[in-house]
Copies of this chain bind each other. A is one copy, B any other.
Amino acid sequence: MDIATVIGVVVGFLVIVGAIVIGGGWQSFVHIPSLCIVVGGMLCATLTHFSLSQFLGIFAVVKKTLVTKIPSSSELIQNMVNFAAINRRDGALALEQEIPKISDVFFVKGMQMLVDGQESESMRNLMSLEIDNVRERHSTGKKILEFMGASAPAFGMIGTLIGLVQMLKNLSSPDQIGAGMAVALLTTFYGAFSANVFFLPLAGKLGIYSKAETTAMEMITEGVCAMADGDNPTTIREKMQAFISHGRREEVKANI
């Protein structure tokens, strides 16, 4: 599991709740009807915006993306250089017995096409099409969380307006103005809290994961197509290393 997300969400929650408890009177911050307006309104708006399957799939998307392991760049480069050396020495067919050792399903597919002797151009087309569509599907999860992060504060404001109107109608009891206004502000607080502690940062994390995964897929595409073009292992290693920073470039040698 992604440790940064867990720490960020849990500690972020504790910081805000801690500040409330220390300030005293945490009971003032629990108001079920206000919570219903913000959470209910946001969920309904999200359901109207997206399709039912997208809405129900958001938990799976978040969970899957946080758990899925991105293949590390250096391991990927090492594998690719090894395969390039085998390809150079023994030909593409010799790569067939290496395929079962690969865990990434996209890498397997690319190697299979290489072994089948497909041309670099058509391989690149098919792999690019798949990368585009993976990016597309990932972005839906991000958009749902971003919409939730924009919708929650909006319903917070709607709740505050409702509370203010109700309070202003009862100005005859001035000792309740403060309490009424405090309740009215709670929905805005709920909206801002949920958006900034959960929805918006999680949407960002989905984007980071999507970026990492599609970059790995692009590295695989570059490497496999370069092998199909018959590039030598040195050129392939340099193409792979262009994707990572100078500091992280270790000496990679074919390890076969």
Contacts and interface: CB of A to CB of B under 8 A. Distances in A.
Interface of A: 2-5, 7-9, 11-12, 15-16, 19-20, 22-25, 28-29, 33, 36-37, 40-41, 44-52, 54-55, 105, 126, 129-130, 133-134, 137, 147, 151, 154-155, 157-159, 161-166, 168-172, 175, 177-179, 181-182, 185-186, 188-189, 192-193, 195-198, 200-202, 204-205, 208, 212, 222, 238-239, 242-246
A154 B198 CA distance: 13
Contacts of A28: 165-166, 169
A185 B44 CA distance: 24
11 contacts: A4-B48, A5-B48, A8-B45, A8-B47, A28-B166, A29-B165, A45-B197, A48-B201, A48-B202, A48-B205, A51-B208
A19 B163 CA distance: 10
B11 A40 contact: yes
B49 A8 contact: yes
Q: Which 10 A-B pairs have the closest CB atoms?
A: A8-B48, A12-B44, A171-B178, A48-B201, A49-B204, A8-B47, A168-B182, A15-B40, A4-B52, A130-B242
Nearest to A60: B247
Given A28-B165, A168-B178, A171-B178, A16 B158 contact: yes
A84 B201 CA distance: 45
